[in-house]
Amino acid sequence: MTHKKQHSLLNKASEACDMLSRHIKEEHVIRIVSHNDADGLSAAGLIAKAITEEGGQFHTTIVPRLKAEIVKELAHERYELFIFSDMGSACLDYINRLKADVIIADHHQPNETEKNDENSDNENTKSNINANVVHVNPHIFGINGTTEISGAGTSYLTVRDLGEGKKHLAPLALVGAFGDMQGQDGFIGVNKVIVEDGKEAGSLEIHEDLKIVSKTQEPLYKSLAYTFSPSLPGLTGDLEGSIGFLEKAGLSYGIKFSDLEDEEKDVLKDELLKLNPKIFGDVYSIPKENPILRNLEEYSSILDSCGKNKKTGLGLSIVLGERGEALDVAIKFQTTYREQLIKGMEWIKREGSTQLESIQYIYSDDKVLKSVMGTISSVGISVGLLVEDKPILSMARMHNDVKVSGRTTKNMVKKGVDLGKALHDSSLSFGGQGGGHDIAAGAMIPYKEMDNFLNLVNDMVEYQINAKAQ
């Protein structure tokens, strides 16, 4: 069954590939529109790189969210082919009105226009999108787009058969997947097919290693403090904690990991395994890449920093192969972001969270803290700075509103917690809006209703847990 679903997705992607190939041959400039996160940047860069390799030309725009107005503006542009990557599936109604050819390479839930029966043999029988639109999306074929393939993944499948084949670009698809938190516990589904492609092309290597960051760039104590995934209790986000840990282990904290003797690396590995067994495992890398980008997770984190600093052009140029100064600038953004995370973790350590009966929350209107709240709240739970038996809401003030991001654990979901539902229903009651998944969700509510909102979410979570216990 799985095999058949994947086959249908690959077929749809090769239909898109034929369309792209035709436009490149006709020397049309291809219009790419993509998302501003690590996945979206990998997606756009991957397509652009494939087009360049085939001697074609492209024009790219990166946006935080695909709004109807953007699609309406695109309708006035004179292009023969539009490609939407890591976005588009939620905007089918408007995209459907474009007169030119369109490829959508997305992995988000599509809107109602194209909802196919996943068991249908011929998806065209139930589709009401126009013939000029090719929609490559795992959900249409009953494949989970949250866990099994990213936007960069669907983009990769779209260019996979171009020219002599593009399997050497497979690692970029996985960079995008890491950006969307898909590979951290190993790849599954279509992502696994992409892993095999990369291995076959010789552009991807997998070996077991310590999963700490910046092994060749930063002193060891920073490598430990900057490692957020997997997290290390007492070390993640804690520079002093990391120094103390290394001194106790008899290792010099100012040396880079890459300069350690083999025996010292073994000592470090043994000590880190005691804190989190996941710290040693499969590491995915591009063997011929610059050491700074060689590890796919770090590549992804660099693109993420470019996006967060609104330097999407920089991120894109790195995917397209620019190094040197471009990479230096991107690394500075990454360092700044890491320092912000450290500041956030120190804040959590100092202030903790505010407790209600069934939930906990943190609130800030500090500009830096606001930008890292979602990450520090979930890492705060995983390293034990915050209790894990209550969902956490991070509240960040935005003018007259509060942006809420909620996170909980798999264990709490098993106990009945559905944060998506709780945030959706509670925000509606106070004139806001929200929703998401059971384990992670978000909302926007009026600032003056914050306390009432928190109390209602608290009641709803309590109700969810009680209902499940009965």
**By the criterion CB under 5 A, which residues form the site for Mn ion?**
39, 86, 151, 180
Please give the distance of CA 232 from its chain centroid, rounded to a whole number: 21
Closest distance of CB 296 from Mn ion, Å: 15
254 Cβ contact partners less than 8 Å away, ≥ 6 residues apart = 219, 220, 221
Amino acid letter for position 141: F
Q: Which is nearer to Mn ion, 180 or 297 (CB)?
A: 180
Q: Which is nearer to Mn ion, 150 or 276 (CB)?
A: 150
Closest distance of CB 41 from Mn ion, Å: 10
Q: Which is nearer to Mn ion, 146 or 217 (CB)?
A: 146
Which of 372, 416, 415, 412 lies closest to 394, judged by CA?
372
Q: Which residue in the block uniquely carries the two structure tokens 């909302």?
A: 443
Question: Count of CB atoms within 10 A of residue 379's CB?
Answer: 22
Q: Which is nearer to Mn ion, 184 or 455 (CB)?
A: 184
Q: Which is nearer to Mn ion, 29 or 90 (CB)?
A: 90
Closest distance of CB 135 from Mn ion, Å: 16
Closest distance of CB 21 from Mn ion, Å: 25
Q: Which is nearer to Mn ion, 86 or 114 (CB)?
A: 86
Amino acid letter for position 236: T
Q: Are 30 and 56 in contact (CB under 8 A)?
A: yes
Which of 39, 42, 99 lies closest to 71, judged by CA?
99
Angle in degrees, 0-180, between the axes of helices 190-201 and 170-179, rounded to the nearest 10: 140
Closest distance of CB 158 from Mn ion, Å: 14
Phi, psi of 290 (to 5 degrees): -50, 135
Closest distance of CB 91 from Mn ion, Å: 15
Q: Which is nearer to Mn ion, 175 or 417 (CB)?
A: 175
Q: Which is nearer to Mn ion, 152 or 225 (CB)?
A: 152
- In angstroms, the CA 46 to CA 126 distance is 31
Which of 447, 386, 380, 456 lies closest to 421, judged by CA?
456
Which ranges of 285-439 would DSSP assign to H, the alpha helix?
A: 291-294, 296-308, 312-319, 324-351, 367-382, 410-414, 419-429
Q: Which is nearer to Mn ion, 149 or 279 (CB)?
A: 149
Q: How far is CA 366 from CA 65, 370, 379, in A?
A: 25, 6, 19
Which of 395, 450, 439 lies closest to 415, judged by CA?
439
Q: Which is nearer to Mn ion, 101 or 180 (CB)?
A: 180
Q: Which is nearer to Mn ion, 177 or 417 (CB)?
A: 177
Closest distance of CB 273 from Mn ion, Å: 32
**Three-class secondary structure of residue 85 per DSSP:** strand
Closest distance of CB 102 from Mn ion, Å: 19
Which of 80, 149, 72, 75 lies closest to 108, judged by CA?
149
Residue number closest to Mn ion, CB atom: 39
Question: Count of CB atoms within 10 A of residue 94's CB?
Answer: 18
H-run or E-run covering 282? strand 280-285
Closest distance of CB 98 from Mn ion, Å: 22
- Is-cis flag, bond preceding 138, omega within 30? no
Which of 132, 145, 159, 142 lies closest to 42, judged by CA?
159
Closest distance of CB 151 from Mn ion, Å: 4
Q: How far is CA 146 from CA 10, 245, 429, in A?
A: 18, 36, 28
- In angstroms, the CA 132 to CA 404 distance is 39
- In angstroms, the CA 347 to CA 340 distance is 10
Q: Which is nearer to Mn ion, 39 or 298 (CB)?
A: 39
Closest distance of CB 90 from Mn ion, Å: 12
Closest distance of CB 36 from Mn ion, Å: 11
